[in-house]
Structure 1
Amino acid sequence: MTLVHDIAMDPRNPDFELQHGFDGSEIPGLESELLSTGEPRFVICFDYGTTYSGVAWSMTTPDGQTSSEVRIIDNWQGEISEKVQSQFTFSPAIPRWGNIKHADYVIRLSKLKFQPSKRLAALKELREATQDIRQVEARSRSDAHVQYPLHLAKSAPEIVMTYLTEVARNARRQIELDHTDNPRRLEEYPIDLVITHPAEWTYGACNQIFRAVNDAFTLAFYDYLDFESMGNIRLVSEPEACAQWTMKGAREEGIDRLQIGQCFTVVDAGGGTVDLVSYRVDQASPTFKFSKFTSVCGRKCGASYIDSNFLNVFLPRRLGQENFERVTKYDLSESGQYGQGSNVSLNKNLQELLRRFLPIKHNFKGPGDQPERLALSGNMQLPNDPARGIIDGQLLITSDDLVEMYKSSVKGTIGLIWDQHNQVMREGSQVKALLLSGGFSGSEYLYREIDKVARQSGFTVTRAKNMWSAAVRGGVLTGLGVGCEQPAPSIACPYNIGIVMAEPWRDYKHHESLKYTDTFAREARAENMINWLVDKGDLILPHEDVKVSRSIGRRFTRNSGKSGQLKVIILGHADKKDRPTHVPASGFGPGNQAFLRYDMDTLPAGVQPATTRGRNGAYDWLEMDLDLCVNQRSAELELVMGRVVDASGQMVVSGYRLSSHRVDFPSSGAES
């Protein structure tokens, strides 16, 4: 039999927040656990979401006790809410971030750009960006005062960092207001950061959000930060953070009645991704203890995909392409704003259509619901067309229409639940409870569809209060190590590390002073260019090395000595945007460079350069591989020759090591 807790929606939460159920702040035992956290420090968690973002914090006092429970930042530019919209604009609007009221366009869904795009999608984005630039250039020829829209020149990580800087400044103000007796309390203790991320993110995506949050925090809290106050930075997956907060309240919902060996699954259904993880009960009494049982899994099927289906699929089909373009077109010529480049942006009309659609989306309970009507007023009004559902300036939206819009998100979520269920079964256990968290879990339609799965499989389904902010609240608990093992800290790479190489000459890229002619290939090249391999500020995880490889080629005349060196540049004083692209005329000091040397005379007989022919005759071609391995203690570079890799990319022959160099990092202050 399936136990379902019927919990109403909270109208204050625009993304399906729940009104009734368990609340971690009221849980017996939560405060006593927080009181045992040890050393004094602040813990601040940033939960950057696809559609909404949140910040929460807690503080321990000099005797190791907390002065308060987990606190949520809930004042966003005068609006009271547990989260703030993840959107930004460069247009002249106030405010330019968060809950933007009046803007020519808004940039949203930037988080979805952090994962690498498929080739076709990337080519489509490039084509659209090129078209946007052409449009701006065409107008600039007729109007000398036209300004290039900033969003066309900004990448998603740059926009997110700008947005998160405002979020961090707002969080700082609220924390200071909570300590009116001592507004400078933040400078008394180290500040730990906790950063949440989706379950199945690549290193590259985690690195981008790590850099964005870390840079934003540094800008917003700059005058509080010195070597002693720089705390630890910890990364935690969103479903695992949700689990920590959810399980605090789940005890009141009977989860602690599960038997030893049985499992429960936590579902974090957010705006962009839905992530799941399952836990096994290790001890039922006197204290309820559990441990992670399955791998975390996730998929891009969150609530924002319902919005995308409405804007990009339903409206064009229902209205017809001509009517759709008429309704959604907004003249940006007055503001000089064109297109979206590689970002997802909505003009004023699209913003208004989405704003009117959201209540319809949130109120949908399933097939059989009464049809809804969406106003097509103002400059979006269309003539009556009953066949298309356009009557008296309103567009009819049926329950079948909404089922279709929800389809990919609901199907994806249920597919993930079955994946976890089967994974647990293969390991010889059973899922007996499902805990829903995240804003999308407040959808009554999604809830009912999950309930059908639960009834088939015999497990309970629970959703509860504060689930919209479960990840950010749980992130604070994780950072404190309350009820869980504290994750090992991550660090920011302290150096830019690169190698000096020659590149094919490009007029638009290289300075004339760097130009020379390659006598072997008779082509123009740029010398002394720096190929940066690792950037200062890059994420270095505690138990996973950063590995980078580059192929290095050298040409020699047949009769010359075949020895030389590869110059390595190590810079700690310059950030990514300020570092040089080539070796300056004055060069670098000995502390900023190292050399990897090679000498063909020392190679074994089976490892020798290849002979090839160029425009000036035969020459010897020396092909080497440079490997860089970065961990939290050091960076190690190794120059290798004779490596053999098969078609699948697997190394067949490791090769002969020519030379190596190690760069030791200064103490990061992170725990070992």
Structure 2
Amino acid sequence: MAPGTFVYRGLSRKLVVAFDLGTTFSGVSYSILDPGDTPEVRGVTRFPGHEQVSGGSKIPTIVYYDRDGNVRAVGAEALQSDNIDKAKAEDWQKAEWFKLHIRPKLRGADSKEDESIAKIPPLPSDKSAVEIASDFFRYLFECTKAYIQESHGNGDAVWASVEKDIDFVVSHPNGWGGYQQSQLREALVMAGLVEEWEGKTNGDKRVSFITEGEAGLHFALRHGLPKATMEQGEGIIIVDGGGGTIDISAYRKPKFSDKFEEIVASECHFLGSVFVTMHARQHLDGSLKKSTYHEDLDYIVSCFDKTTKVWFSDDQKPQYIRFGSTRDTDTQHNIRFGQLKLTGETVAQFFQPSIECITECVKRICEDSPHSISHVVLVGGFSASEWLYKQLEQAVKMDKLKLEILRPQSHPNKAVSDGAVSSYLNSIVTARIARFSYGVMRNVEYNTDDPEHRRRIGDLLYRPSGRKLVPDAFEVMLAKGTKVSDETEVSIKMWKEVTDDTKRKLEKVPFTLYCYRGLKRSNKTSTGPKFMDEDSVHFSKLCSVQADLSKLPLEPIPKGNGVEGEFYRVRYSVVLLFNSAELKAHIRWEENGMEERTPASVIFFDDS
């Protein structure tokens, strides 16, 4: 089904709202769904104080709190002169870039990204990233409500007709997982937008998630990507250049299909546009150390961020940061008539880590993809940079890659929120590639002929049946690089042994799912280490699947090794569905020759 041809088949009017919580700028898109009509994707383009910013349909992701922790100014209003003066006079605390505090903080990250992440501004005292996100979501929602009431004919009546039936879509970077989603759900609950039970994983469908890469694909199909581009089964790369992250994904549409599939694992790098500004700050802090204008560093950096960075396109021409009046001069530090002069080469260096990241990713995807790539589509605010565009174009030519680079004509900073709504209306991606290997730590039967088992003889476990088991063997359920479709389920057979005294433990049986992010293999055909201790630094607990097994049939078995009495064994399978942005789980067993199932709760471990 082509974008724009979806017809809403529901029985009553409803509203879908998509939040794009960005590191530096955030936006909202929405659609009012009327039965029998083709919905229109619309963006909220009017916010309080919006004239203060040039972000198109977005506002700055900023929240000011007073000393008592109360919200005083949000978004564009935080940049109004009177609020800036009050913030200084009344010692308000500023929360910005708080989204990056929700990110996964995993070991083994790229050193360039580690260096950049270390410079993220701290959160205000007594405020968590989730609390700040909840205040910002609440503000975006109120702005959406006001916009609909003011922009639609008979707006108050329109709002009244949908306010009790609203679904939310929240976008997030490609590299975010279940724990980050749980944090965003909690923020929506704290904001009062959904009830607590609706914010739980596997709960109500009012809250859903989409990766920024996938949202970018939906936006590209609606704005600028030629219809015939992918009819031959060729792939496209979506580069979503945001404030905090650069999200890179690749998709193709198989011949004779109207759906898309991911063709390589998506990537997420913390090298978005804010890190260009960070590098500029570091340079200016050093170069102005002995200048009287060093005390104006924050303002000078702000002027660079809003103008010089945005318009930079030529490293052979000098660049200027306009920050003062004609009376502001310090020739020893390249300041004349209120302008600080930088060489084009210097400014280009601020961009270099981000540009290298994008160009290397594009080349790697072209090499690794099983299908030819024909286009690279740039979306997101950072992708509007002329310098980024030129450098990517130059890299493509130098490597003789047959790629056409496109930027949608519509506002690229609307890509994520618009694409999120489009995906809600008509999801077109039906297969994705696993970014890592997922599995479980098993206790395996001790084999005296296996040297790896003998090496771990001091760790053996003993069961009521007399069995000897070697702990922490990694059994892969889903291998890195595996294509997972909407119908794909992965399962693993499990059992639990209990006695009459321990039957009560069946009421809450946890199953821990592990993620392996490393490259080690036990042999050429394996998908990871055979045991956890071979590369423990790259293993992490992803989530706990919790199930009630007390109603499952018990198999009585005599105790072994001459011990009188019997124990009980319950057999079941843990079934996982990785086929969307959210992980889901079930418990499956056989009873009286029939397959039975029950949903299981998924609780994600904190990977921060």
Question: What is residue 452 of structure 1 aligned with on the other side?
Answer: 394
Structural mapping, 1:63-462, within 5 Å: 63-66=35-38, 68-79=39-50, 81-91=56-66, 96-99=73-76, 100-101=78-79, 102=84, 103-104=87-88, 106-117=94-105, 151-177=124-150, 178=152, 179-187=155-163, 189=165, 191-216=166-191, 219-220=192-193, 231-251=205-225, 254=226, 256-258=228-230, 260-283=232-255, 290-311=260-281, 313-320=282-289, 326-328=295-297, 350=298, 353-355=301-303, 357-375=305-323, 384-386=330-332, 388-391=333-336, 394-424=339-369, 427=370, 429-455=371-397, 456-462=400-406
* Number of residues of Structure 1 aligned to a counterpart in Structure 2: 444
Alpha-carbon offset, residue 412 of structure 1: 1.3
- Equivalent residues of 2:66, 2:72 under 8 A apart: no
State the structure with bigger RCO (CA 8 A, min sep 6), 1 or 2.
1
Question: What is residue 493 of structure 1 aligned with on the other side?
Answer: none
Tell me, in whole angstroms, the C-alpha distance in 2 between the residues paired with 1:290 and 1:183.
35
Tell me, in whole angstroms, the C-alpha distance in 2 between the residues paired with 1:633 and 1:479.
22
Tell me, in whole angstroms, the C-alpha distance in 2 between the residues paired with 1:603 and 1:155.
52
Tell me, in whole angstroms, the C-alpha distance in 2 between the residues paired with 1:215 and 1:663.
29
Correspondence for 2:417 among 472, 479, 496: 472
Question: What is residue 640 of structure 1 aligned with on the other side?
Answer: none
Tell me, in whole angstroms, the C-alpha distance in 1 between the residues paired with 2:305 and 2:116.
27
1:236-279, Cα deviation, whole Å (9 max, x unpaired):
1101011012112345xx35145523211111111111112112
- Equivalent residues of 2:3, 2:221 under 8 A apart: no
Q: Match of 1:88, as an amino acid? A: V
Structural mapping, 1:573-612, within 5 Å: none
Tell me, in whole angstroms, the C-alpha distance in 1 between the residues paired with 2:117 and 2:384.
33
RMSD: 4.9
SS, match of residue 127 in structure 2: coil
Question: What is residue 23 of structure 1 aligned with on the other side?
Answer: none
SS, match of residue 295 in structure 1: coil
Q: Match of 1:237, as an amino acid? A: T
Alpha-carbon offset, residue 162 of structure 1: 1.8
Alpha-carbon offset, residue 173 of structure 1: 2.5
SS, match of residue 419 in structure 1: helix
TM-score, normalised to structure 1's length? Answer: 0.56
Structural mapping, 1:481-492, within 5 Å: 481=426, 483=428
Question: What is residue 407 of structure 2 aligned with on the other side?
Answer: 463
- Counting aligned pairs with the same residue, the percent is 20
| Cα 1:664–1:355 shift into 2, 3 Å | same
- Equivalent residues of 2:137, 2:188 under 8 A apart: yes
- Equivalent residues of 1:241, 1:474 under 8 A apart: yes
- Equivalent residues of 2:262, 2:429 under 8 A apart: no
Structure 2 residue runs without a partner (length 5+):
433-485, 491-499, 509-549, 551-557, 564-573, 577-582, 589-596, 602-608
Alpha-carbon offset, residue 306 of structure 1: 0.8
| Cα 1:106–1:274 shift into 2, 3 Å | same
1:346-377, Cα deviation, whole Å (9 max, x unpaired):
xxxx2564145421111100212333134257
1:35 aligns with 2:7: yes
| Cα 1:369–1:635 shift into 2, 3 Å | farther
Question: What is residue 449 of structure 2 aligned with on the other side?
Answer: none
Q: Match of 1:454, as an amino acid? A: V
- Equivalent residues of 1:37, 1:480 under 8 A apart: no
TM-score, normalised to structure 2's length? Answer: 0.61
SS, match of residue 413 in structure 1: helix
Tell me, in whole angstroms, the C-alpha distance in 2 between the residues paired with 1:203 and 1:324.
46
Tell me, in whole angstroms, the C-alpha distance in 1 between the residues paired with 2:562 and 2:40.
67
Alpha-carbon offset, residue 454 of structure 1: 2.9
SS, match of residue 56 in structure 1: strand
Q: Match of 2:136, as an amino acid? A: Y
SS, match of residue 34 in structure 1: coil
- Equivalent residues of 1:39, 1:60 under 8 A apart: no
Correspondence for 1:44 among 17, 23, 39: 17
Alpha-carbon offset, residue 205 of structure 1: 2.3
Tell me, in whole angstroms, the C-alpha distance in 2 between the residues paired with 1:183 and 1:382.
52
Q: Match of 1:35, as an amino acid? A: V
1:537-572, Cα deviation, whole Å (9 max, x unpaired):
xxxx99999xxxxxxxxxxxxxxxx978999999xx
SS, match of residue 447 in structure 1: helix
Alpha-carbon offset, residue 303 of structure 1: 0.8
SS, match of residue 31 in structure 2: strand
| Cα 1:394–1:479 shift into 2, 3 Å | same
SS, match of residue 76 in structure 1: coil
Structure 1 residue runs without a partner (length 5+):
1-27, 133-149, 329-349, 488-540, 546-561, 571-593, 595-601, 608-627, 637-661, 667-672
